[in-house]
Structure formats: structure tokens, C-alpha cells
Amino acid sequence: MAEENDKTGRDEALNEDASTPETADDATDETPVAEAPAKAGKFDRLTQEEGGVRKLTGMYKNWFLDYASYVILERAVPHVEDGLKPVQRRILHAMKVVDDGRYNKVANLVGQTMQYHPHGDASIKDALVQLGQKDLLIDCQGNWGNILTGDEAAAGRYIEARLSKFALDVVFNKKTTEWMLSYDGRKEEPVTLPIKFPLLLAQGSDGIAVGLASKILPHNFVELINAAIAHLQGRDFQLYPDFPTGGMADVSRYNDGLRGGTVKVRAKISKIDKRTLAITEIPYTTTTESIKDSIIKANDKGKIKIRKVDDNTADKVEIVIQVSPDESSDKTIDALYAFTDCEVSIAPNSCVIWDEKPHFLGVSEILRRSAEHTKSLLGLELKIRLGELSEAWHAASLERIFIENRLYQLIEGCKSREEAYSAVDKGLEPFKMRLRREVTLEDVQKLTELKFIRISRYDSEKADNEIRQIEEDLKSTQYDLDHLTEYAVAYYERIRDKYGKGRERRTELREFDSIEATKVAVTNAKLYVDRAEGFFGIGKSMKDAEFVCDCSDIDDVIVFTKDGRYVITKVSDKAFFDKNIYYIGVFKRNDDRTIYNVLYRDGKNGAIMMKRCAIKGITRDKEYDITKGTAKSEILYMSVNPNGEAEVLKVYFKPRPRLKKVIVDLDFSTLAIKGRQSQGNLFSRYGIHKIVLKERGTSTLGGQDIWFDEDVRRLNADGRGKLLGEFKGDDRLIVWTSKNQYYITGYDLMQHFPDDTVLVARYESDRVYSLCYYDRGQKYYYMKRFTAEMSDKIQDFLDADADFICVTDRAGAKLEITYKGAHASRPADVIDVDEFVGVKSHRAKGKRLTTYDVDRLRMIEPELPPEPEPSEDESLDDGQLTDASADAAQRAAAEGKASGKSALKEPLGAKPAPGKAPAGQPSAGTIVGGVEFEVERPKGDAGEMIDPEQLNLF
């Protein structure tokens, strides 16, 4: 009958919707107008009601909204109070119903849950397996799959489960649970479970509804409890994800888990040796199989170069990668992060159900609500406990009065129950003032139903002790209720101490350095150019053209024409810029060390200009001019120098009257490096016959300042972190680790440092390290002095049974020794470190400091001399520095700041050796713009070198 009424109501609503105009336009359309009847449409039979068939009009409007609301509220999005989706809540309730302490078959649990969940068994089993894999609420037995490898669980008839002790302690309480009927009205199920823990943030949640999605990342068990305690105590807290698969996470843009945030997660990759890498932890949402597949695909596409990849994962992740012999392992690590699933970005979207509606709440707000909800549940439990204790005290007191005063004798002679109840109630009148509440008929009934054997064995002393214990429990419960916040804090601390062991943070939080894909991509393509026709590219159709260089298929290239126009574009199979290409090469964005030396003619018969500039970053595919932009300008000479090299040219002018010197030298090192839009300096107004390369120059940029960023454990030249100094040539770094090891390495910005790195400093072969340590075997303190050996191998400077105490590399240092125990009254000794023991190998044991009980060792280092003031001679007459002198001044400042300082306090750095110019420019002996260009080897007389300013004397 109810179904018929519901059907009739829906039909009336549909008919009403169909007949009632919804907009002003609809009302206007219904106004009678004399016009021809509309032609029947091909969908009229679907939208008109014929023979009792319901129309589709309005059906989606009403039913689709109901369906979307159902999916959001009842399937995909978790509730903020207990952090569970309905299927998860019903699984836990069903497991509690059948719980007897023993394992149950998963198939049996699925069947039990189907009494509450109106969907198929497959979804229940999948949700149960996911709950079990989170290792928090369910104790599993059997093959439950592997979240690391992605292996699925066995069939439900082969695996078993039961509720964990944590779930039994935290999740369930019938007295505080709100109940509702199941979908068929036969059973009762909880509206929400009274969970006294931020379960939603601990497990995380992922669901897709209709027009809505929720993605909440898992957080650390102990950190959540600490944050809840902090909130209850009025302190600030911060929450960040912690993933069961470990790895490393950059949470700088977490945005409290709200929409718009992102978390970058990386695998942990370590170097076993120079040619072998090992992945020991993987990003969340990935598996070892997916990572292996992504590595193989990247290798097939030429993004990385590896020989072999093996997945040896069992209980722990182990993916071994064999790097190609001609490839750097450090570069391969960056390439793995750039081109494979070793780095993934996760976009959180914290959406929960609250007050029967979806809400977007940050993880901090979810935790606050969880803590307050837990506090209210604890308060409710205390109130229930208080009521139960009060009832127990009332019942015990009535029983004592009833038995000790022999009121049971009043029942004798009573012919009916009502008469007996009345007699007992009348007998209790003198004692009712002692009680805390009124005596009810139910109380009297219980007294009359006491068995005679209980009355005869009644022990007054034992009853008094029980009442006294109840009164103490009442006081303690009332105290906890009056101090509910402290009680909630104590509850959280008990949970943390009982279940927090073994739940330490697995994901390391750190900032990631940005990896430019073009810098780590391997050269998997060849660049070709057709200079005359203006085509260039890496496709098969270009293989008959001139080869330029090896490159990657994601590189940018820079292309110059003879008239000085240039463009930067992404490399492609075949592209066209303009005819008469002068230079083409791979472009590195934000590279301030690649310098372009240019000699060009401004206009058809204009002056000859010279300039040096760097092209750091411009808009891709936009045309620029290296010249002034005058029509018919022409590049006479150009070189691209990756390390700022400045060559010397011999320039031959065309003979003409009154020309004093026909041959002059042009030294580019005397020109200042300016911006790419600078016009340059005037070289000459006379025509040039020939240009000869007289001498290949060296770098004018000096060394390269290197910084070490401790947050990301990477070197950089951008000024981030601690300045190591200026490096060049064969300069090296020394790296110290917390495992009492060191090794010597170069200053390549691509290299990775171990996670246990404690210090990175400039390596100096003659630097002496004075080190104190404690020998656990001998139980004495020792000192040894050594110099670090030049070796790429990792060196152990202490044995396994030694504990590092202190170290210095400062000459003239002193060691202060204070004593304890029986020698506490002994005055402290001060030892001259340089004279106490000689300099030997790092393998030497050293010399014992003392046989007394040592309380503390402290190095006393001498003060550094004051830093030198820069002299006025370093500046030019016009108050500005040239490029060379400016670099020298910066270099001197950096070395001056670090000179005499301990490398363990203020490490220094290095600068690279000059490189070779890239290919892509015309070969020697060719004619460019009517000017002959060739290379001349310098002989005995290098020729006269003149200042470019004198070239304007012609």
C-alpha cells in the first residue's frame, strides 16, 4: 500500500511538473496563439504519456539528484565523526556481532555484513581487504595481498580476520551508540560508531561520488595523538601525511589537505656502487610493479640509460637498477625522479560528511572536531558510569537496610503481591532519608525477590566494603567528569603508550629541489640543420643535412640567422625558422655562464660593433635580435662559450688611404659582459677583409661559487644554503657522515649526498683533523690526528666499537678534560692538541688521553684573525669593476671570509675548468657575409695587442 501511495505521489508530481510552466518563457509559450500545429518530433513517443507510460520530463531532475545524494552520503564520502564510509562501518559492526576472540573466515564476514549492506559481496570483500591492509582495526591471517607489490589478497574462503585489540578498545560502545534500522528493517545498525580516535586521518580515505570526490591522506598514529593532546591543551599543532610505503614527501604545498594543495612523494634511492642503484622505499599510490614498468618505458623511450632492473621485493622494497657504463648514477637518480613513477604528485581533497551534507574541511579542523567528539564521548561514558554507580549504591544500600533491619519479615501474612510491596515500602519509610533518591516500586520488587539463601548468608562487613568502594568510585568518576579535559588527555596518552610502539613515522619530510627534465634527460637524438634552406630538427627527414650535436627530444634549441635574428624553440622532428642559419645549438635556460662573443655590422654599410652577452631566459618561439635590429645587419663573427671563454681575434681590414694599421687584434676578455639587449661597443667604421682566430681564450668568469643546501642535501650555484667557496679545476669536496665515515668527491651540481651526511666542506690534502673518541672495548678515551686520503672510496675513520666525541681542524687548538666520580675533585687538564700526538693515518688508533673517569671533553679553538678590508685599488677610476676584476673581488671576498676558518665550521668550495664551445657554428675556412674566417695557430710573435678603445683612431 505504501508503495502504491509513493507511486501515485510520484506520478502526480511528474504530471504537475509537466503541466506547470517553470520559467517565464514557458508561461509565454502556453499563451494561445493562432499558429499551425507543431510537427511531431521523433522523440515524442518517449516524452508523451500514452497508455499509462510515464514521461521522461522531470525524471532526471528529481531522480538523478536523489541518486547523487545517495552516492555522496551512503557510499563514497566518509563521515567526520567516525571517519568511516557506510560499508566500512557495517563491516566493523558485523565483525563485532560475531566476535568471540577467534578468527572468522572472510567469506563468513562478508555474508554477515550483507545483512546490513544492500550491495554485492565483491564490494564488501574489497573494502574488508583494504581495512585489513591498513593494519589498524583488523587482525589478519592468511594471504591478504601486498600493498608494496600490488598483489591481490586470496579468496575470502582462504583468509581469516578478527577485530584488533585497538578496535575493541577504541571503536565500540553499545551504551553511547546511536542505532537505526537496516535497509530491510530486520536488523539494527549504528548511525556512526563511537570511535574515540582520529581514525579518518590515521587511515586516510579515497572515494569518488557523483560530481564530488574525497581524498584524505593517511597521517602518523603518534603524531595524531600528540596533535589531539595539543588541541585539548590549547596549543598549536601541524599535521603532515605519513604513508605506509615510506618514501620522502615535500609537504610545502600541503594546504592543510584542502583543494588546491599538492604533495610530492619520492622513492628512496640509494647508491650501492658507482653503477648500481637500489630503490628501498616507494611513493604512496604506487607499487613496485608500476615503478618497474615506468622505468622500463622510460628506458625504451631513451629518457634514461640502464642495463637492467630487478624487483626483489618481499617484506621490504628492493628494486635494483644497473646503470649503463657511460652514464652517471647521480644523473640517473634525477632522471628517475623526472621520467618515472619514482616521483608522483598527490592532490588532496579533504571532503567529509557532516550534518548530512558534504563539507570541505582541512585536516587540522577534522582533528579538532575529532578531539572534541572524543572528549564528549568520554564525558558521556563518565555520565553513564556515574549513573550506574549511583544505581549500584542505591541497590546495595536498600539491600543492607532490608536485611539488617529484617524487613523481609513484613512479608509474612501478606496474601497478595501488592500487599507485600506496600508492607515493605512502609517498612522502609524510616530509612528513606539515608538514600540519595526515592524508592520506586521496581526497587521494592527487587527486594522481595531476594532468595532466602542470600539473606541467610548476608555479610554486613563485606557489604559495607562494597558500598565504600562504590562511594570512592563515585568520587573519582565525578572528579574525572569535572576535569574532563585532563581525563581526555590521559586517555590519549594511554592509547599512545599502549598502541603507539612500532608506529613511528615512515615517510621522511624534506624539501625537494626542482629537477629540470632537460638537464637530466639523456641524449637520445641527433640534431641536424640545413643552413641554406633554414630547416632543422631531429627527425628522419633531416638525416641528410649537416649534423650539429647530440641532444634530447625535450631540449630547447637556439637558432641564429646571419642578419642577427634568433629564436629559442623546442626541438622537433623538422622545423623552419629562416634561410641562412648562422648558428644552432642546445639552449640551457637560466645559464649565466654561457657567454656569446659577437662581432657584427650594423646595417648594410654601418659601423662594426662588438659585444659579449649572456642569454639566460626568454619567451619561447619569440623572435629577438642580437644586433641593434637595423635592417641588413650581419653577423661577422660569433662564438658560444659555455664557461665564459674570451678568445683573441686577428682582424684584417680592407686597404684604404690613411689607414694606419691594416691588422689589429681584438681581445674579447677586455669587453664587459652585458645583457642580451645591449648594443655593444664600437669596434671600427672600416670594412673588414678577413678574421682569423689567433688564440683560444680562457674563462673570464673565474671560479664558480658553490653552496650546499642542507634541506635538500644538494649543491647549487644559486646562493641557497651554506657557501662552500669558489671552485675550479680539480678542486674537491670532503663529505662526512654520521657513520664515522668520509669520502672525497667532486663539485658536480648533479650529485646526491647520503641521508646521513653531517658535513660537506672543501677538501685540502694538508688539512689535519684532530679527533677524540671513546673506545667501548677498552673503556678509555683516545685522540688521533690524521689527514684525509684522496680516494673516491668511503673511508672509516673509527672502528665499529668506537663513539665519536669531538673533532677540530684548527691549528693551535686545546682540549679541556674534566673528571667525575672518584676523580671529580681533580682539576681539569688542558692539552695542547698539536703536541699531544703526531699526525698519522686515519686508520691509526691514536693515543689514550687519560685513565681517570672522564666527565667531559671540550675543544678550545683559537680565535680567527680579523677579516681583511677590501683595498681601494680593486676599483677602477670610474668607480666600477670590470667583469674580470669583479669576479676576482668576489673570489677574494669569499676566500677572505673563509681563510683560516675551520672547514668543520665554515666549509669552502670550487670553480669548474673551462669547457669547449658547442658545435653548430660555421667551420674554419668558410666565408660569412663576404668576410673570410679561418684559424691561425699563434707562433713566436703573438702580434701586437691593443686596447679596443684605440680602434676608433682610424
Angle, helices 484-499/460-482, rounded to nearest 10 degrees: 100
Helix (H/G/I), strand (E/B), else coil: 887: helix
- Output the CA torsion 705→710→714→720 (10° steps): -40
Strands of 138-141's sheet, edge to edge? 104-105, 160-163, 138-141
Q: Cα separation of 77 and 214, whole Å?
A: 6
Whether the CB-CB separation of 56 and 194 falls below 8 Å is answered with no
Alpha-carbon span 936 to 765, nearest angstrom:
41
CA atoms within 13 A on the CB side of 299: 17
In terms of C-beta distances under 8 Å and separation of at least 24 residues, what long-range contacts does 933-938 make, across chains too? 933/637, 933/690, 933/691, 933/692, 933/693, 934/690, 934/692, 934/693, 935/692, 935/693, 936/650, 936/692, 936/693, 936/694, 938/694, 938/695
Contact 645/577 with Cβ under 8 angstroms? Answer: no
Q: How far is residue 269's CA from residue 508's CA, in Å, rounded to a whole number?
A: 13
**Spatial CA neighbour of 127 closest among 206, 200, 199, 193:** 206
CA distances from 870 to 660, 879, 892, 895, 910 (A): 42, 14, 9, 12, 21
778-788 per-residue burial string, b: 16 or more CB within 10 A, e: under 16: eeebbbbbbbb
Residue with cell 579515497: 206
d(CA 501, CA 491): 16
- Residues 137 and 84: their CA atoms lie apart, in Å, by 12
Q: How many CB atoms lie within 10 A of CB 394?
A: 18
Reported as type and span, the H/E element at residue 720 is none
Pairing status of strand 839-840 against strand 780-787: parallel
Phi/psi of residue 113, each to 5°?
-70, -30
CB-CB contact of 296 with 288 (8 Å):
no
Q: Please name every residue paired with 265 in a beta bridge, in sequence order, or none if there are none.
A: 249, 344
Task: Enter the C-alpha cell of residue 792.
Answer: 673516491
Q: What are all long-range contacts of 233-236, with beta carbons under 8 Å and residues at least 24 apart?
A: 233/485, 233/489
What would you report as the CA-atom Rg of the chain, rounded to the nearest whole angstrom?
A: 42
Handedness of CA 563, 564, 568, 573 (dihedral sign): positive
**Marked catalytic residue, from 67, 70, 158, 479:** 158
C-alpha cell recorded at residue 523: 641524449
- 821 by DSSP, 3-state: which? helix
> What is the number of residues in the chain?
954
Residue 445: strand, helix, or coil: helix
Q: Which amino acid is at 210?
A: V
Cell of 439: 524508592
Alpha helices in 508-650 (DSSP H): 517-520
* 284 part of the active site: no
Residue (of 611, 509, 651, 623) closest to 566 by Cα position: 623
DSSP secondary structure letters along 92-155: HHHHHHT-SSS-EEHHHHHHHHTTT--S-HHHHHHHHHHHHHTTSSEEEES---BTTTTBPPPP
Q: Catalytic residues, which ones? A: 158
